[in-house]
């Protein structure tokens, strides 16, 4: 994918990714229902009364004869096609061999059906098509973006089918990719973030497969053989274990043909059995990595709920208020805006296939780490005890429901939504019903849901820096004092 927007694209990407310094804005005070400062903004009333536009998605869904679930949306404005094939084949299925899922996925385009890696790459690039593969904890993906005219689309899809049908997993490519991954692991040791992420995952998920480090370990990678990859592919890259999402300028009939051919290219097998739900930690676990960084990075969290739990919606909205809403969240307001302790602090709740962890992450100068952790814990406890105010809730509901138009604005957005709906067996009207459910949540629902599922004393805490942060060492930092604290180092 990333290769494709060459030239101008490359210039922009570079400008955006490397040299740009994004300001994450401060969080809000609740907006008064009636604007105070001499009716500023003057457009408020008109904008409030405007009827928001909606993009109606006509989602078609079916199953191929060989058992792949398919979702399709026709969009005719741009002459392009997005294809996304999702397999229940993420690192949660590594089964004691960390890195197996990632390596299998990365090896798919290294050789197939008599073609070597160069043939495959040239094949897509000659067509201007963009083929991608990636592996995550729940899922593994193959993606293709192509011009939709048949002379581009057909050969690109044919090549994708050959990769899906007969990957050859060449030994020399395995050796090379393994070396690259090991080198990648060494580079991760140079910076705090990835090290903390591994340690936190291990702490949070314990014995559950989600604890597996997706990128493998220096110990596990050398032991992964070609036979392991072949077996993994045969078991998990099956028609029955696949979801195919298609968006673009093709007819439904064409979409059905494409889906059938992709599905038929895959081995026969079974849909992977659902993993057990991750366990909630019932007491505090902590870990610290000594590292000579100028900031201490801290992650906190616990496993809260299983997928499909009715409390997901109040937890989701509550998380937005507490720390997920970026610009408008309590954590950003208190920790960054009012005290200047961090550049970023966020919380999230991830609806995974076999768990729903709540996590908070922040990075702060070493001298501020005790105070920042203490404050963050207090803010979480305070939120669990009291829930949001009605004003905070209203702002979050307005924000979440008002932003739905943005979630399906591009083909790329839509294919992502279709993939998630298919992979997690969500109903086709999921986007609408979810939006409605958000609107129906009350502040009490949120407080109750947080009290049912989140015990602040049981949050796992992982950190990396010159020394472990200790909230007990921090001086008093009142939570609701809006006066600025002195944060000079």
3-state helix, strand, coil in the chain (%, to 5): 45, 15, 35
CB atoms within 10 A of CB 206: 15
Q: Does 466 bind another protein (CB under 8 A)?
A: no
Q: Is 192 in the site for another protein (CB under 8 A)?
A: yes
Tell me the sheet residues that pair with 460: 301
Binding mask 21-50 for another protein (x = CB under 8 A): xxxxxxxxxxx-----xx-xxxxx-xx--x
CB of 68 to another protein, least distance (A): 25
Which residues from 231-270 bind another protein, rule CB under 8 A? none
User: Which residues, 311 to 340, sit near another protein by CB under 8 A?
Assistant: 325, 327-328, 333, 336-340
Per CB under 8 A, the list member of 189, 234, 439, 451 interacting with another protein is: 189
Q: Which is nearer to another protein, 67 or 340 (CB)?
A: 340
Q: Which is nearer to another protein, 158 or 385 (CB)?
A: 158
Contact set for another protein, span 419-458 (CB under 8 A):
none
395 binds another protein (CB under 8 A): yes
Those residues with Cβ within 8 angstroms of residue 336's Cβ, 6 or more apart along the chain or in another chain: 24, 26, 27, 342, 343, 344, 345
Minimum separation from the CB atom of position 126 to another protein (A): 5
Q: Which is nearer to another protein, 68 or 363 (CB)?
A: 363
Of the pair 189, 386, the CB lying nearest another protein is at 189
| CB 9 to another protein: min, Å | 6
For residues 69 and 178, which CB has a smaller minimum distance to another protein in the complex? 178
Q: Give 50 or 472: the residue with its C-beta nearer to another protein.
A: 50
Least Å from the CB of residue 142 to another protein? 15
* CB neighbour burial string for 228-256, b if at least 16 within 10 angstroms, e if fewer: bbeebbebbbbbbbbbbbbbbbbeeebbb
Binding mask 147-166 for another protein (x = CB under 8 A): x-x-xx--------------
Contact 287, 462 (CB under 8 A): yes
Look up residue 103 and give its two tokens: 């390596």
Q: To the nearest whole angstrom, how small is the minimum distance from the Cβ of residue 292 to another protein?
A: 7
Which residues inside 113-152 make contact with another protein, applying CB under 8 A?
117-118, 121-122, 125-130, 145-147, 149, 151-152
Stretch that binds another protein, among 10-18, 160-168, 420-428, 449-457 (CB under 8 A): 10-18
Cβ at position 277, least distance to another protein in Å: 32
Cβ density class 34-56: b for 16+ within 10 Å, e for less: eeeeeeeeeeeeeeeeeeeeeee
**Kind plus residue range of the DSSP H or E element containing 385:** helix 369-386
**Alpha-carbon distance 41 to 27, whole Å?**
18
CB of 321 to another protein, least distance (A): 11
In the region spanning residues 336 to 375, those forming contacts with another protein, defined by CB under 8 A, are 336-344, 363-365
Determine, following the binding rule CB under 8 A, whether residue 214 of this chain makes contact with another protein.
Answer: no
Q: Collapse the DSSP code of 237 into the 3-class scheme (helix H, G, I; strand E, B; otherwise coil) and give the result.
A: coil
DSSP state of 30: P
Task: Report if residue 410 touches another protein, rule: CB under 8 A.
Answer: yes
For residue 32, CA distances in Å to 334, 388, 389, 451 come to 19, 16, 13, 29
CB-nearer residue toward another protein: 132 or 267? 132
With vertex at residue 105, the alpha carbon angle to CA 254 and CA 180, rounded to the nearest 5 degrees, is 140
Give 306 or 401: the residue with its C-beta nearer to another protein: 401
If we measure between CA atoms, which residue out of 1, 4, 260, 258 comes closest to residue 155? 258
Q: How many CB atoms lie within 10 A of CB 98?
A: 23
Q: Is 78 in the site for another protein (CB under 8 A)?
A: yes
CB 338 within 8 A of CB 482: yes
Q: Is the dihedral of CA 138, 142, 147, 150 positive or negative?
A: negative
Extract the tokens encoding 474: 């921090």
Please count the residues of this chain forming the interface with another protein, following the rule CB under 8 A.
114
Q: How many residues does the structure list for the chain?
A: 489
**CA diameter of the chain:** 73
Residues 6 or more apart whose CB falls under 8 angstroms from that of 203 comprise 285, 286, 287, 460, 462
Smallest gap from Cβ 77 to another protein, in A, equals 5
Nearer Cβ to another protein (325/355): 325
Q: Which of 12, 158, 231, 385 binds another protein (CB under 8 A)?
A: 12
CB of residue 161 to another protein, shortest distance in Å: 17
Distance of closest approach, residue 158 Cβ to another protein, in angstroms: 12
């Amino acid at each position: 994918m990333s290769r494709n927007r060459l030239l101008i694209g490359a210039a922009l990407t570079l400008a955006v990714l490397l040299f740009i310094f994004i300001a994450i804005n401060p969080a809000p005070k609740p907006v008064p229902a009636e604007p105070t400062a001499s009716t500023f903004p003057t457009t408020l009333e008109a904008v409030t009364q405007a009827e928001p536009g909606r993009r109606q998605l006509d989602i078609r869904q079916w199953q191929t004869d060989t058992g792949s679930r398919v979702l399709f949306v026709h969009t005719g404005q741009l002459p392009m096609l997005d294809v996304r094939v999702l397999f229940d084949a993420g690192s949660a299925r590594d089964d004691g061999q960390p890195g197996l899922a990632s390596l299998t996925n990365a090896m798919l385009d290294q050789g197939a059906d008599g073609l070597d890696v160069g043939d495959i790459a040239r094949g897509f690039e000659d067509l201007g098509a963009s083929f991608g593969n990636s592996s995550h904890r729940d899922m593994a993906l193959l993606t293709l973006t192509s011009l939709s005219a048949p002379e581009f689309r057909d050969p690109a899809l044919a090549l994708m089918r050959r990769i899906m049908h007969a990957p050859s997993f060449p030994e020399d490519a395995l050796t090379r990719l393994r070396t690259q991954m090991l080198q990648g692991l060494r580079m991760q040791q140079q910076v705090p973030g990835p090290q903390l992420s591994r340690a936190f995952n291990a702490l949070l998920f314990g014995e559950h497969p989600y604890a597996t480090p997706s990128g493998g370990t220096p110990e596990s990678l050398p032991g992964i053989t070609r036979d392991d990859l072949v077996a993994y592919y045969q078991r998990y890259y099956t028609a029955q274990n696949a979801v195919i999402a298609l968006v673009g300028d093709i007819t439904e009939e064409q979409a059905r043909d494409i889906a059938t051919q992709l599905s038929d290219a895959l081995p026969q097998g079974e849909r992977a059995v659902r993993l057990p739900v991750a366990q909630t930690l019932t007491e505090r676990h902590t870990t610290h990595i000594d590292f000579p960084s100028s900031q201490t990075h801290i992650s906190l969290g616990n496993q809260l709920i299983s997928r499909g739990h009715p409390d997901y919606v109040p937890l989701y909205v509550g998380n937005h208020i507490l720390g997920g809403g970026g610009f408008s969240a309590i954590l950003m307001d208190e920790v960054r805006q009012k005290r200047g302790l961090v550049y970023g602090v966020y919380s999230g709740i991830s609806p995974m296939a076999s768990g729903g962890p709540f996590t908070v992450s922040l990075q702060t100068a070493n001298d501020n780490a005790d105070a920042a952790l203490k404050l963050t814990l207090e803010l979480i406890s305070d939120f669990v005890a009291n829930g949001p105010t009605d004003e905070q809730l209203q702002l979050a509901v307005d924000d979440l429901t008002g932003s739905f138009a943005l979630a399906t604005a591009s083909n790329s957005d839509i294919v992502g939504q279709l993939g998630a709906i298919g992979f997690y067996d969500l109903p086709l009207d999921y986007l609408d019903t979810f939006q409605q459910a958000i609107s129906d949540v009350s502040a009490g629902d949120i407080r109750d849901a947080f009290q049912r599922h989140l015990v602040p004393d049981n949050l796992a805490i992982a950190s990396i820096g010159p020394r472990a942060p200790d909230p007990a060492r921090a001086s008093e930092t009142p939570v609701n004092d809006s006066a600025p604290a002195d944060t000079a180092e």
